[in-house]
Amino acid sequence: MMERVTNDFGGSRAARQIHAMYATRLMTEIYHLVQPGGHHTLCGLRISRVTSERKSNTLQLVNELPAKVTICKHCERIQGQENNLAADLRGSNADL
Ligand SMILES: [Zn+2]
């Protein structure tokens, strides 16, 4: 008997294309991945929707990343777990 693993990214509920969104703080060079609802990062941080506040410690949503930022290692690990169907995507040609 096979246990079928479904998750929000690959399951039947969210079968359409994922809208890529990220969250960054102004003063850091780390970005986080955003959960489907857009309220929290994958690693559980809360994202501010108030873009008029320019607090450097506030996570804000962005659709495009600056060139020099690095993924949050917690988000990366969590995303890796969710994508583990696609084996280890550590290489550079994982573009399916
Ligand atoms: Zn994170």
Pairing of the two strands 70-71 and 60-62 = unpaired
Q: Give the Å distance between the CA of 40 and the centre of ligand 1.
A: 9
Give the Å distance between the CA of 9 and the centre of ligand 1: 17
Long-range CB contacts (within 8 A, 24+) of 73-78: 74/42, 74/43, 75/32, 75/33, 75/41, 75/42, 75/43, 76/33, 78/33, 78/42, 78/43
Give me the pLDDT at residue 78, please: 93
**At residue 88, what are phi and psi to the nearest 5 degrees?**
-90, 110
Report the separation in Å between the CA atom of 79 and the middle of ligand 1, taken as the mean of its atom positions: 10
Residue 19 has pLDDT above 70, yes or no: no
pLDDT digits (tens, 9 = 90+) for 27-86: 788 999 999 888 899 999 998 876 565 655 788 888 888 888 999 999 999 999 877 755
Output the pLDDT for position 14: 45
Q: Cα 64 to the chain's mean position, in Å?
A: 12
State the pLDDT at residue 65: 85
Average pLDDT over every residue of 3-11:
54
Residue at token pair 């410690």: 57
Rounded distance from Cα 72 to ligand 1 centre (Å): 4
